[in-house]
Structure 1
Amino acid sequence: MPTWVSIVVLGALAIALLGPIPAILERASWPSREPRAALVLWQAVGLAGGVSVLGVAIATALAPLGDTPWDAAMTWLATVWSGDLTGGLETFHLILLGMAMAITFRLAGVMPVTIWRTWTARRRHRDLVGLVSRPWPATRPGHGHVLEHPAAAVYCLPGGVGRDAPRVVFTTGALSALDDDELAAVLAHEHAHLVERHDLVALPFFAWVTALPWFPGVRRARSSVATLLEMVADDRAATQVSPATLASALARIGTAAAGRAATPVGAIAVDGGGVLQRVRRLLCPPDRSRRWRVSAYLLAAGLIVAPFLAITTIH
């Protein structure tokens, strides 16, 4: 049977990646210095956490069938294929396998559902924007739209081509609150989101929250990733406009945010996360750290490899 070491390792990884590690990473100060590296690490935490959760569930259920979880899974599949629908398992392990399969289908099923809901909500809002807004000539043709609303808000709707082309939406309140340089700064910020497709980076974390809402680590991941994506967009925009101007625009939009409705589903707002922290970061840029950057990438690689090694080689 698979050694208890594989199950213990996978269980320990699952617990750590759903609890303490996200808490430690959320409180760390270095991600603001290297937001791209921190994003890669968060992605590794999410992937390794998911594999570990599924791995420990399936390894425990198939424990009698092989020397490693992988061998046990291959044996079970071969037995089922030969006509034994129990796969050679007794009732207790069949119950465990059913629970493991339920977890697997939930995690695997949430992603396409989340993608579909986000895509349809974004398309619906994009169509509404096209109906009730007017073009803003300061942006690329078809990209900029102005909505009549007193609250200051700026957000983008990622997309592809044609009907689904991306949009950058400004309210009349934002046009009144920001000067020309500040408008150019927030436009550069939103274009950074669109060019780098930050919506695709954030999507798995929203799916995880839907699938496992009771784990604090999953909620921490979504919040932290949202803030880091804003920092990455800030950094890209700051290569085109004055960081101080962007900070001023963020402060104005962030101040007005308290009195307005939430950002539409599927949109990315300029004040989407950690506004005060981002303003401070733009005004006093932190020193970049090659040590933290390299360490984050190495740790991310290790986290991704670890559960697969536990599944295939530990016995």
Structure 2
Amino acid sequence: MLPTVAGLGVVAVLLIGPVPAVLSRAHWVQREPRAVLVLWQALGLAAGLAAGGAVLAAALAPLAGSLPRALAAYVRAGALTGGLDVLHLFLLGAAVGLFGWLLAMTGVSSWRAGRMRSRQRELVDLVSTPWPNRVSPARATGAGARLIEHPAAAAYCLPGPSSRVVITTGALSLLEPDELDAVLAHEHAHLAERHDLLLLPFAAWSEALFGLAGTQRTRLAVAQLVEMLADDRACLGRDRNVLAAALARVGVAGATGVAPTGSLASTELALLPRVQRLLAPPAPSLSLRTLSYAAAVVVVTAPFWAFVLPLVVA
């Protein structure tokens, strides 16, 4: 079983450290953010499976030469110990605990995010007034848009069953009407595509691994791609320069840090790369899109082959 343990261990180490480090620094990802987000999801899932699978394979190694056969032997034993000694029982407990920890942290993160956003929505309703619909009212529908008195220019959304889009008075005074309209469209794009659900597993992954640098890097890279996706949707039928000008105004004014934790904010993250991408949009690439999806399939099935290949070879 040593090849299985080693193979899964190598896959886990690569997918937690070096691979995310390289991908997070790549500039070509801006050309196909949606496909690259699928690749990021595959990396996270495969890393968790490989890490847990390596420990599980080490635990069951005395029972058979391949993990499928070892699992079958453990089940046939009909006892909790399954014929394992103390060390391997400890490893088995560690494997079960690791998988359980990852699942539990996903549930805890979901619950925390939902509770936090619910509280934020309550607070927003207390301190805000309904959006006056002075800027392109047709685009201000679909969510309870609210206006908050605050000197800093900010716009953010609070996803959930009763979503909110929030605009500050600072944004009203700083941005031109068409720029504010573009920012609103960006926030509605987040809500329409449920980007909060896309970000949730990466937040849980980071928390489960206690904020390791690799997981934090992954979380930031994914968040930036999500913002670019919302930018693209907001600019459908709209001049991209308008949204770029809005983000540039906010960046020059230094009006960041207003959006609460748990929100999705158009004016908070990676302003300079997004402005550059809006002003000089990279050409979509079918080859990069295809390679990203193909790489996602390869990555997510890598732990499976580490399980199966020893069985096939044997």
Q: Is the 8 A contact 2:152 2:255 kept in 1?
A: no
Corresponding residue of 1:310: 306
Specify whether residues 273 and 74 from structure 1 end up closer, same or farther in structure 2 by C-alpha distance, changes over 3 A only: farther
What's 1:71 paired with? Answer: 69
RMSD of aligned Cα (Å): 1.5
- CA deviation after TM superposition for structure 1 residue 141, in Å: 6.8
2:249 aligns with one of 249, 252, 266 = 252
Question: For the residues of structure 2 that align with 1:109 and 1:195, how far apart are their CA atoms?
Answer: 27
Task: State the match for 1:103 in structure 2.
Answer: 98
Q: Deviations over 1:167-196 (max 9, x none)?
A: 100111111111110111001111111000
Which of the numbers 296, 302, 305 marks the counterpart of 1:300?
Answer: 296
Superimposed CA distance per residue, residues 107-161 of structure 1 (whole angstroms, 9 cap, x where no aligned partner): 111000000000000011111111211001322275210011111110001122x
Match in the other structure for 1:191: 188
Say whether 1:208 aligns with 2:209: no
Kindly indicate whether the alpha-carbon contact (under 8 Å) linking 1:22 and 1:220 is maintained by their aligned counterparts in 2: yes
Matched, 1:273 2:274: no
Counterpart for residue 149 of structure 1: 150
Q: Which residue of 2 aligns with 1:37?
A: 35
Q: Distance in 2 between matches of 1:272 and 1:260?
A: 7
Partner of 2:115: 120
Provide, for residues 54-99 of structure 1, a one-character-per-residue CA deviation record: whole Å limited to 9, x for no partner.
10011111111233223322332342xx3x2212101111121222
Measure, in 1, the Cα distance between the counterparts of 2:168 and 2:255: 15
Give the Cα–Cα distance (whole angstroms) in 2 for the partners of residues 78 and 112 of structure 1: 32
- Inter-partner Cα distance in structure 1 for 2:255 and 2:88: 52
Structure 2 gaps of 5+ residues are 134-139
Matching of residues 226-265 of structure 1 within 5 Å: 226-257=223-254, 260-261=257-258, 263-265=259-261
Following the alignment from structure 2 to structure 1, what is the Cα–Cα distance between the partners of residues 168 and 295? 42
Aligned residue for 1:273, secondary structure, equals coil
Residues 144, 167 of structure 1: 8 Å contact kept = yes
Distance 1:305 1:194 in 2: 31
User: How far is 1:214 from its partner?
Assistant: 4.9
1:291 aligns with 287
What letter is aligned with 2:91? L
More divergent stretch after superposition (139-148 vs 15-24): 139-148
2:97 and 2:249 map into 1 onto residues whose CA distance is 47
User: C-alpha distance in 2, partners of 1:142/1:37?
Assistant: 27
Q: Aligned pairs, how many?
A: 305
Q: Identity over the aligned pairs, expressed in percent?
A: 49
Once structures 1 and 2 are overlaid, which stretch shifts more, 251-260 or 267-276?
Answer: 251-260
The residue correspondences of 1:11-26 to structure 2 (distance < 5 A) are 11-26=9-24
1:169 aligned onto 2:166: yes
Residue 259 to residue 285, structure 1, CA distance change in 2 (3 Å): closer
Asked if structure 2 preserves the Cα contact closer than 8 Å seen for 1:227 and 1:272, the reply is no
Q: How does the TM-score come out when normalised to structure 1?
A: 0.92
Match of 2:137 in 1: none
Instruction: Note if 1:51 corresponds to 2:52.
Output: no
Question: What is the alpha-carbon distance in structure 2 between the residues aligned to residue 22 and residue 42 of structure 1?
Answer: 8
**8 Å Cα contact 1:18-1:216 kept in structure 2:** no
Residue in structure 2 matched with residue 158 of structure 1 by the alignment: 159
Seen in structure 2, the aligned counterparts of structure 1 residues 257 and 107 have a Cα distance that, compared at 3 Å, is farther
For residue 180 of structure 2, what is the amino acid of its counterpart?
L
The answer to whether the 8 Å contact 2:256/2:267 transfers is: no
Kept in 2, the 8 Å contact 1:10–1:56? The answer is: yes
State the Cα deviation string for residues 1-52 of structure 1 (Å, max 9, x = none). xx32211111110010001100110111110111111111111100111110
The corresponding residue for 2:58 is: 60
Deviates more, 1:211-220 or 1:228-237: 211-220
SS in 1 for 2:184: helix
